[in-house]
Copies of this chain bind each other. A is one copy, B any other.
Amino acid sequence: MLDETADRMRSDGRRLGAARRQVIEALSARTAPVSAEELAEELPTIHVSSIYRSLAVLEEIGVVRHVHLTHGAALYELADETPDSQYLVCDVCGRDIAAPAALFDKLRQVIEKDYGFVLQGGHFALPGHCIDCDPASISRPHPHAR
């Protein structure tokens, strides 16, 4: 993973410095997406701006992708993790579910046919609530409403 990526980058005129290497390693160890801030805490010798820059190039070459689960920070993960998933996030309890993108295939076809628009799902979580969570119990405007 690290090695292939390293080669990819070199043949692209790029180098593999400490920040990029450690970011890849940290992401490899994760099962759930992480924010840049969390990565920075986990990698105290790497400056957060370098984390952002590393994530940016890794995303550019397709090794990393990011998703937005809430209004807060973007969350990053290796692109090969949870391939083609669409997150659902509960406004009430905050739980997130990674649903297979295939669920949306029919909808995509309809939208493509009726609107001439090709959905590119997965990037933003879809808000909603668990059946057992009472949406009326949202005290302050819930995170997704901000």
Contacts and interface: CB of A to CB of B under 8 A. Distances in A.
Contact of A59 (B59, B68, B114, B145): B145
Interface of chain A: mostly helix, strand, loop or mixed? mixed
A140 B86 CA distance: 24
B117 A127 contact: no
Given A88-B117, A131-B117, A132-B116, A99 B126 contact: no
Contacts of A110: 103
Contacts of A103: 107, 110-111, 114
A128 interface: yes
B129 A120 contact: yes
Contacts of A116: 130-132
Contacts of A119: 88, 126-128
> Which of the four size classes fits the interface of chain A?
35 or more
Nearest to A59: B141
19 contacts: A68-B124, A91-B120, A97-B117, A99-B111, A99-B115, A103-B114, A104-B107, A106-B107, A111-B128, A112-B131, A116-B130, A118-B135, A119-B128, A120-B128, A120-B144, A121-B126, A121-B128, A123-B144, A124-B127
Interface of A: 56, 59-60, 66, 68, 74, 88, 90-91, 97, 99, 103-104, 106-107, 110-112, 114-121, 123-132, 135, 141, 144-146
